[in-house]
Amino acid sequence: MASKGEKGNKTNIFKQDIPMIFKNLEVMSPQYVPDTLVARDNVITEVRNALSPILIGGYPRHLVFQGKSGTGKTVVINYVVNQLLEYLKEETTDDRKINSDILYVEINCEERNTTIRVIYDIIQKIDDTIEIPVVGMATSWYFDRLWDVINTHHVSLFIILDEIDKMDANNLLYNLSRAQNRKIDKGLFIGIVAITNNTRYLTEGRIDARVLSSLNPLSIVFSPYDADMLREILEQRAVDAFVPGVLDDLVIPLCAARGANEHGDARLSLSLLETAGHVAIQHNVKKVLEEHVKEAEKKNEVNAMIDVLKKQPFQSKLLLLCVIYQWQLREPEENYLRTGDVYEQYKLFSMELEKEVLGPTRISGLLSELDYLNVIDAPVDSSGERGRTRKIMISIPVREIIENIIVDDDLLRDIVEKVWGKTITDNPIKIPNLYYSPKKKRGKQTHIH
Ligand code: ADP
Ligand code: MG
């Protein structure tokens, strides 16, 4: 332990030089709503017009937003509703036609993917003291509770249903759209905004004609941003987020170009810019450069892959560990592993863990999934004398996989500690950072058998 004297001599570490790159990180977060939006004037006007009937005692038009991820769907609805609520707060004239509170409820339908879960959440957001069973009641029972709570609280709602395509929304949309004037008191409204990344959602037939005619939504398509628009979005955000002068001139155009290549995705461009800032700090430099963006790009790709890997079944993770282990053991002149090497290792680890051993066909299937996820590169090699096999290479840093995937699983962690020694988690430097980067692949067509 440090004595008092020693402590007195030390300068607080925060007083020492930290590279000052960011001045406000909050504005880079995905939830942040900027004061003005770039290149979305037409959409904003359409949405405003759709909601504005409520100002004269009418009902809002229901909306469906379709567009690829990062095209501003969430930020546009947040922006317009913020403006509306702000306007209503300022507007004190006597001819106001709204006499209810307005509540803004956002639900992610991937997480809450049944009608009952969605209604349950809406009820809780109106009044979190109400006790209702999570299961065991008919859907209609939950709807009735919802109408009750809306009427007793005399509240109007904007309900944002994000990722609507992740659930069967027919029953939900039908009932919500028919509630006004029938189930809820006069003067109250429910405005629905259904959001989807699927640009064909409304034309794919997932919503019944009967539901569509009741909902009668205004469909708004969010077109991809081009590189110029993305650059403007980034420049606008950078003014608030970064210390003046720290961004090299090439940085924003590069981040914008990457987002433009990826279906005009502003989220990707913003995240790249932010990560590049953190990379510069890690390198302890005072300026964000092009090379930091490139490093950030790799980091973001690996992180995205790690998120997907975390959701894979145990057998896949175990198999991946076998690949890593064999990869480390291979002769230096070997550029790839073969299915057989990995399978033998898999049998050994499975027996060690007293786990079921899957057959070669299943294992080949799992390898093909890992290939599809770009975690490994495993094309089938049919040239060989050894029959059909795969040429297996690792495509992301081993250390990232071990630190983020393997150590989270008790069984796999046991194996790692046996194989690489006890220090694996105490001293991660000991993990070999072997990693081979094959040509980059995208899309699903490659090597699936
Ligand atoms: P989506 O919901 O379509 O996936 P978001 O609305 O979440 O996309 O936008 C992704 C990111 O890009 C957010 O940080 C958002 O603030 C920002 N963004 C999107 N469009 C604009 C715009 N027109 N002007 C400023 N920022 C934007
Ligand atoms: Mg969104």
Question: What's the predicted TM-score (pTM) here?
Answer: 0.80
Ligand 1 lined by 108 (C-beta under 6 Å)? no
CA–CA separation, 60 vs 51, rounded Å? 5
CATH number for domain 312-444, candidates 3.40.50.150, 3.20.20.140, 1.10.10.10, 3.40.50.970: 1.10.10.10
Q: How many helices (H) and strands (E) does the chain have?
A: 16, 9
Pocket of ligand 1 contains residue 271 by CB under 6 Å: no
127-157: per-residue pLDDT in tens?
999 999 988 899 999 999 999 999 999 999 9
Q: What integer is the mean pLDDT of 193-197?
A: 97
CA-to-CA distance for 257 and 227, rounded, in angstroms?
A: 5
Give me Rg for the CA atoms of the chain: 27
CA angle 90, 161, 133 (to 5 degrees): 105
Q: How is residue 198 annotated by DSSP?
A: -
Hey, what are 35's tokens?
């004061």
Q: Give the amino acid at 130.
A: I
CATH class of 40-221: alpha beta
* Residue with CA closest to ligand 1 atom 20: 72
Choice between 62 and 412, residue whose per-residue pLDDT is larger: 62
Residue 357: per-residue pLDDT: 93
Mean pLDDT of 426-438: 37
DSSP for 40-64, written as a single string: -HHHHHHHHHHHGGGGGT--PPPEE
How confident is the model at residue 386, as a pLDDT?
A: 59
- DSSP-assigned letter for residue 338: E
Domain range list for the chain: 13-25+226-309, 40-221, 312-444
pLDDT value at residue 328? 80
Task: Choose among 259, 178, 225, 217: nearest CA to 47.
Answer: 217
How confident is the model over 345-355, as a mean pLDDT? 89
Give, to the nearest 10 degrees, the angle between helix 139-153 and helix 115-126. 20
CA of 201 to the centre of ligand 1 (A): 20
For the segment 74-87, the average pLDDT, to the nearest whole number, is 95
Mean per-residue pLDDT, 280-299: 95
- Of 192-206, 248-262, 345-359, the range with the lowest mean pLDDT is 345-359
340 lines ligand 1 (CB under 6 A): no
Alpha helices in 283-397 (DSSP H): 290-310, 314-329, 339-352, 360-372
Residue range 373-382, pLDDT digits in tens: 888 888 888 7
> Which atom of ligand 1 is least distant from the CA of 67?
3
The whole-angstrom separation of Cα 319 and Cα 121 is 39
The answer, yes or no, to whether residue 423 has pLDDT greater than 50, is no
- List beta partners, residue 222: 67
Q: What pLDDT score was predicted for residue 158?
A: 97
CATH T-level topology, domain 13-25+226-309: Helicase, Ruva Protein; domain 3 (1.10.8)
Higher pLDDT, 386 or 55: 55
> How far is the C-alpha of 326 from the C-alpha of 341, rounded, in Å?
7
